Amino acid sequence: MKIIHLCGLLWLEKQGFVKIYYADESGFTMNSYLPSAWQKKGEHLSIVPNKYARINVFGLLSRDMDFYAYTIKSTIDSTVAIAFIDEFIKERKFPQTTVIVLDNASMHTSTEFEAELERWEAEDVYIFYLPKYAPHLNLIETLWRKIKYEWLKQHHFIGIDFFFAGLEAILKKIGTEYSINFKDQLLPN
């Protein structure tokens, strides 16, 4: 049933009645996300785990690559997610009804978070929860993969300053230099 509702929202967006943003959080660390390494035959490769500095990003992404990113070095919990959504509501560049698509993470379904739904609806912003276990329906998951596995390059991992600067540069250029074509995916006829 949720998928039918999502298709209905996509149709409304296609007609220009609503603007949909896919939202989620992701953590970025200096642990390289590149999944391969080379070693000489007969030698063992050992990877020493290190606890690197981490930055967490709460992002909201539309199908046409309009992107809002909020970064924090501490954990993103319900209080932080609420603050970021409030900031998004102030910053958004359009007057139409907005739907924020979220997964069912506990921070998105907490009593504290759900207490804000009515206030956001008064601002013409609505929350749509995806079906459980359906991250493939949240377009921002594709963005997080692109950043981690394609757009962050090996030279970004040579030092913490390079890493944070590289990530910040990517986040600022999403929709211009860094883009994904979502326009024709999952659109009902």
What average pLDDT is seen over the chain? Answer: 88
Classify each residue of 70-80 as buried b or exposed e, where b means 16 or more C-beta atoms within 10 Å of its C-beta: bbeeeebebeb
131-142: per-residue pLDDT in tens?
988 888 999 999
How far is residue 134 from each of residues 5, 140, 172, measured CA to CA in Å? 14, 12, 28
How far is residue 77 from each of residues 42, 99, 126, 132, 135, measured CA to CA in Å? 46, 21, 19, 19, 19
Closest CA to 108 of 82, 142, 70, 134: 82
Q: Are 24 and 103 in contact (CB under 8 A)?
A: yes
77-97: per-residue pLDDT in tens?
999 999 999 999 999 987 789
Q: Checking DSSP bridges between strand 125-129 and strand 97-102, what pairing results, if any?
A: parallel
The pLDDT, as a whole number, for residue 66 is 95
Domain 2-26+52-172: which CATH number of 3.40.718.10, 1.10.8.60, 3.30.420.10, 3.10.150.10: 3.30.420.10
Rounded to two decimals, the pTM is 0.85
What mean pLDDT is predicted for residues 98-115?
96
Domain ranges of the chain: 2-26+52-172
Helix, strand, coil in percent for the chain, rounding step 5: 40, 20, 40
141-168: per-residue pLDDT in tens?
999 999 999 999 888 878 888 889 999 9
